[in-house]
A and B are shown apart, each in its own frame.
Chain A
Amino acid sequence: MVEFFFQAIGIAVIFLLGCVGETLTEKSGHLNLGIPGIMCVGAAGGILGVVVANNANGFLSILLAVIFAAVFAAIAGGIYAFLTVTLRCNQNVTGLALTIFGNGFSSVFINNIIKIEGDSGHGAMLSEAGNKFFLAHLPFSDLLGWFGKIFLGHGVLIYVAIAIAVVAAIVLRFTRIGLNLRAVGESPATADAAGINVTAYKYSFILIGSAIAGLGGMLYVMQLMHGIVGAELAGTVEGIGWLCVALVIFTLWKPALAILGSFIFGALYIFPSFLNVFFPDATFTFAQLKLFPLIPYVATIIVLVVTSIIGNKENQAPAALGLSYFREDR
């Protein structure tokens, strides 16, 4: 049981980062379906960061992984921003293309890093960094029983992720920047007339959102997989990315709710691996096992249906989501 909650939190923060990143992007009126691809690129960047740090010390490894992941992801987000904000391309098409690109890019990139410079050197270095630095936790947490394990037993980045979500929630809700951003996503023409630089806000938050989501991808490799780079890495991260996009809807575009929502998604995501813990006597067929990963999507559809029926405007997507803004249209 303790292990279940511990692992659920481990995967939940990845959902959380992806979801907060996508939420910030969508609040600027841009539906970035490239988030799964951007998370893949973030994972690639994180790996490069760890390799560059060369396991000299833990702080440097983590710092460089964060910086590289964020910058890589922001560059990918920048492609999306340039195409959709400046060139006003269709957001869905651009995003989907970016996801395909990100998936392929990260596969090629990661394989090259690990293989080019010797056969096994980097793979071992990554897994050492993952275990030694990224999973390092407070020494006394082991003494506090289940509480210590579940809440204090994680690597430092887990807490950074939650802090990012809290900060995002506060910024959106209580600051002038948040008010302006929401106005841009709801009605860019109104924001423009009020003197807000619509383009700057869109670019900023697409880049920031992408960077945050990119951290999620990095966290998957270095934290959840303990730095072990598998062949199916990009595919798995992309799958998680799609769940993040669904999670945005599930949490009604609210980063504070996302903390709770991501935990639910995380628990559902790992639930199939813990079936023998919860149901020691039951046996499941292969087909039945394949049904469990569908639950998050079903939950999202139910949330969509319920919020649509209630029809409260505050729980809907930003009004201008997916629409390009032409100033001349006013």
Chain B
Amino acid sequence: MHQLELKNITKTFGSVVANNNVSLTLDQGEILSLLGENGCGKTTLMNMIAGIYYPDSGSILINGEEVSIHSPIDAFKYGIGMIHQHFKLVDVFSATENIVLGYKDQEKFNIKKAAAKVKEIADKYGFIIDPRKKIYDMSVSEKQTVEIVKVLYRGANILILDEPTAVLTPQETKKLFDVLRKMKEDGKSIIIITHKLNEVMEISDRVAVLRKGEYIGSVNSKETTESQLTEMMVGKKIELNIERTEPKGCVDRLIVNNLTTIKEDGLLGVDHVSFTARSGEILGIAGIAGSGQKELLEAIAGLAKIKEGSLDYIEPHSGEWVDLCSKNPRQIRDLGVRLAFVPEDRLGMGLVGNMDLVDNVMLRSYEKGRPVILDRKTPGKLTDQIVKDLEVVTDSVHTPVRRLSGGNVQKVLVGREIASVPKVLMAAYPVRGLDINSSYLIYNLLNKEKETGSAVIFVGEDLDVLLALSDRLLVLNGGKVTGIVDARTVTKEEVGLLMTKTVESTVEE
């Protein structure tokens, strides 16, 4: 009998199938790794065990008994606790206050007693925690500790950790793994979501692999290799019918050398990244989400703090080198370096939801034209053109952008950047959430840009698309370049390995 068993779980969001007929087991005292690419449904699956989502069909069994988990409270009742990637903690509360929040034991509310119990749990498993310390004074790893103790405090026997190491330093990761091993000895069962293969091999007893919402299989960690896991994770290459012309007249356009940036929280965004983008070709950027793609593009667009390294743009006509590090975002844009970034919520960056299409197009050109009274005619014509060319479905060009469907919003966003005839076009996740037809429309647009001699940088999520569309492929992992490969000849497995490969301090060119 398994401690936890999932049978034929299916979950859909609208028309998107997040999990399709997934079956999975977890035994007592076992550490199971759940491995898979972004968007393969790992977190969704775990959220169903933790009571955040409810499966459309299928059943969850605990110790052989079928249960229905409607809320996190239900999950706790069955001894299931999940540590989410985004911590759910109240900043001005102490560790103990956060741990007891919402927990109803039979005893009288006594924060001192609770703190003593927290200390006891921490000592048992080797956590280092100060029960009275406020969350806002804590480091990320301390916050994570609070989350784990919170779950243990409520007597969880099954712990689910969603990418716990993504925010940790190697030393902190080692400490976390020591704690996990102690929990395992204590009879707790643990599911850990990750896509770092070396960690999978190090910590887990068994690995279950998901791909595109489907359960591929599980193997014992001792009997598998990294390359076997990669193959399970990325699957066989799928042939896509995307036209790819041979790059013509390639000249260096953007030269990035040893670029290192710092994010707002003081961590490194990208770490000594070097590459060259050439006109007339598409440079794909692959990597697991949050590997530094956004940070890299923002650095080029002048939106990030550059710690070291250089960014040089080569003028197409004069061949002159322009140092982009010393330019502000508008000067960079005026040089013809354009960024079309589609964030997760699709609107947040780039478009103003309450303004209509024309106004949004004008955002890129308002400083041109008449000095005081805005010229709306020229952008209006341009908007009509974008709407016609890209088949944007909208009542009129005066509809607020937020009323457009996601795909149409993206067409406006990408179309606006392309309309400015960029020399370097950076498109990040331009097909996020789009249906097949719209996606192909965007791919063709990017191809057309490439043929007209732009240097296109394309950040994508789907490896098959990246392989079919790009000429060269740059792979990022943890802010570092793990390889630049020829997209025509490389295999999917090779890219998969690069995506999960951990690079030590220096990068080979």
Residues of A that sit less than 8 Å from B by CB? 174-176, 179-180, 182-183, 186-187, 189-191, 193-196, 313-314, 319, 330
Contacts and interface: CB of A to CB of B under 8 A. Distances in A.
B417 to A, nearest CB: 28
Interface of B: 52, 71-73, 76, 88-93, 97, 100-104, 109, 111, 134, 136
Contacts of A189: 88
19 contacts: A179-B97, A180-B102, A183-B101, A186-B91, A187-B90, A187-B91, A190-B88, A191-B101, A191-B102, A194-B72, A194-B88, A195-B72, A195-B76, A195-B102, A195-B103, A313-B92, A313-B134, A314-B92, A319-B92
B136 A313 contact: yes
B102 A196 contact: yes
Chain B binding surface, main DSSP class:
loop
B93 A319 contact: no
Given A193-B72, A195-B72, A195-B73, A180 B101 contact: yes
A175 B100 CA distance: 12
A115 B52 CA distance: 59
A186 B88 contact: no
A196 B136 contact: no
Contacts of A187: 88-91
Contacts of A195: 71-73, 76, 102-103
Contacts, number: 60
B93 A194 contact: no
Contacts of A319: 91-92
Given A186-B91, A187-B91, A194 B102 contact: yes
Contact of B89 (A174, A175, A190, A313): A190
Given A179-B100, A180-B102, A193 B88 contact: yes
A330 B93 CA distance: 20
Nearest to A175: B109
A319 B52 CA distance: 24
B304 to A, nearest CB: 26
A2 to B, nearest CB: 42
B6 to A, nearest CB: 22
Task: Report, nearest first, the 5 A-B pairs whose CB atoms are least far apart.
Answer: A194-B102, A195-B73, A176-B109, A190-B88, A195-B102
Contacts of B73: 195
B103 to A, nearest CB: 7
Given A189-B88, A190-B88, 6 more contacts: A179-B101, A194-B72, A194-B101, A195-B76, A313-B92, A319-B91
Nearest to A186: B90
A1 B218 CA distance: 84
Given A191-B101, A193-B88, A183 B93 contact: yes
A275 to B, nearest CB: 42
A182 B93 contact: yes
A317 to B, nearest CB: 11
Nearest to B137: A313
Nearest to A190: B88
A200 to B, nearest CB: 13
Nearest to B82: A193
Which one of A183, A186, A196, A314 has the highest number of Cβ atoms from chain B below 10 Å of its Cβ?
A: A183
A193 B101 CA distance: 10
A183 B93 CA distance: 8
A98 to B, nearest CB: 27
Nearest to B102: A194
A105 to B, nearest CB: 35
Contacts of B97: 179
B102 A182 contact: no
B428 to A, nearest CB: 23
Given A176-B109, A313-B136, A196 B92 contact: no
Contacts of B76: 195
Nearest to B76: A195
A194 B91 contact: no
A194 B92 contact: no
Contacts of A175: 109
B101 A313 contact: no
A180 B90 CA distance: 11
Contacts of A330: 52
Contacts of A313: 91-92, 134, 136
B81 to A, nearest CB: 11
Which one of B71, B73, B88, B101 has the highest number of Cβ atoms from chain A below 10 Å of its Cβ?
A: B101
